Structure 1
Amino acid sequence: MTEHLHLDAYRQSFALLEQAVAGLTREELGYKPSPVKWSVTEVLAHLTDHYLVVSFRIREVLSRSAVRLPAFRQDEWVEGQHAADGDATDYLALFGALHAFHTRLFERLAPEAWTLDGINAKGERVSLEAIIAAFSAHLKLHLAQIGRTRELARAALAATSGQTAARGGG
């Protein structure tokens, strides 16, 4: 196996995602900071959707296909599958399975495979290595989003809990 610039960040991605959601309650996972912002569960669904699309892109690049690499309508995918009603552990399990598979795939690639490329939805050439770098950067943005949402959820749920207790309900 050859070492590539972004492979270490990629290898860590699932562990970082697991750490980001560890200990969250169902209420915290489902908390939406606003009607137009995703809950942590919806972020997990989106990350899994993104991984499925990236998986297809990887295969197209490795097969030397001339097909334009697909984009996807992330908000519509999350809404259309009723991701908010899904189970965060299911999304995490699928993400983990894809991650384990692709980690092993990348370990068996020849060095030249990392320079293979395809054409993205914008019409730009992107190498396999660039796809993996973008994947890791995308995940990093959503890890920060999960952290912000987790803190907002805990504050909002604590405030709600405090109000209930003050009224004698808890």
Structure 2
Amino acid sequence: MSFNLANITAMDLDTGEFDPYYGPYVQIVSGLSLQQALLDSLSEISSLADKVAAQSVLHHRCQAGKWSVAEIWQHLVDTEIIFQYRALRIARGDTTNLAGFDQDEFVQQSRASGRNLEELRQLMLAVRNSSLLLFQMFNDEELKKRGVASGSEISVRALGFLICGHQKHHFKIIRERYC
């Protein structure tokens, strides 16, 4: 059974449903329903991949010490999978304080420099489709459940919006600095 995510917007979130650090990510998608944010991001993935391909910037770094476009894409995939996992555990009533992760260490270990654009595109599309199905599986009560991740309270529905806002944030960086 699929639940309707069209009636849930980021503006419905209480400030206590996510750490203020994530505020900019929520703000980016504030005018969208969770369903629309997840669906819109699917077309954004392919659109930006086409632009990255046309510009041949997949392994480019905008400056020394910054992540390449491939590393940013792999970071998005890794983070989304972690946020999915957190959402599932919280929705199922797990009260464990879910550990954070070192994004720089993840990128360093990701082997993103050996991946091609089509591989990254397909990986990101598969993970995003998985997120869409996951969040459709949750009912209203589960979407509102809160748990603790990285030492801060967060709700299941906030994690859905963070996934989308996080992608939009990084895609904006790619468009501004790389393409």
TM-score by length of 2: 0.75
The reply to whether residue 126 of structure 1 matches residue 154 of structure 2 is yes
The reply to whether residue 138 of structure 1 matches residue 142 of structure 2 is no
Shift of 1:59: 1.4
Shift of 1:115: 0.5
User: Structure 2, unaligned stretches of length 5 or more?
Assistant: 10-32
Mapped to 2, the partners of 1:27 and 1:98 lie a distance apart of 24
Q: Deviations over 1:16-56 (max 9, x none)?
A: 12211214338411111112111211111111111121121
Larger Rg: 1
Aligned to 1:42: 71
Match of 1:89 among 110, 118, 143: 118
Instruction: Name which of structure 1's ranges 6-15 and 127-136 shifts more when overlaid on structure 2.
Output: 6-15
Q: Deviations over 1:49-102 (max 9, x none)?
A: 111211211111121111222321111111122222222322221221122122
The reply to whether residue 11 of structure 1 matches residue 15 of structure 2 is no
Match of 2:62 among 23, 30, 33: 33
Question: Which amino acid letter does the alignment assign opposite residue 4 of structure 1?
Answer: I
Aligned length: 150
Mapped to 2, the partners of 1:144 and 1:91 lie a distance apart of 17
Aligned to 1:56: 85
Give the fraction of aligned pairs with identical amino acids, expressed as a percent: 22
Question: Which amino acid letter does the alignment assign opposite residue 146 of structure 1?
Answer: I
Runs of at least 4 residues off by over 6 Å:
none
- Residues 44, 88 of structure 1: 8 Å contact kept: no
- Residues 71, 112 of structure 2: 8 Å contact kept: yes
User: Structure 1, unaligned stretches of length 5 or more?
Assistant: 152-170
Question: Which amino acid letter does the alignment assign opposite residue 84 of structure 1?
Answer: S
TM-score by length of 1: 0.79
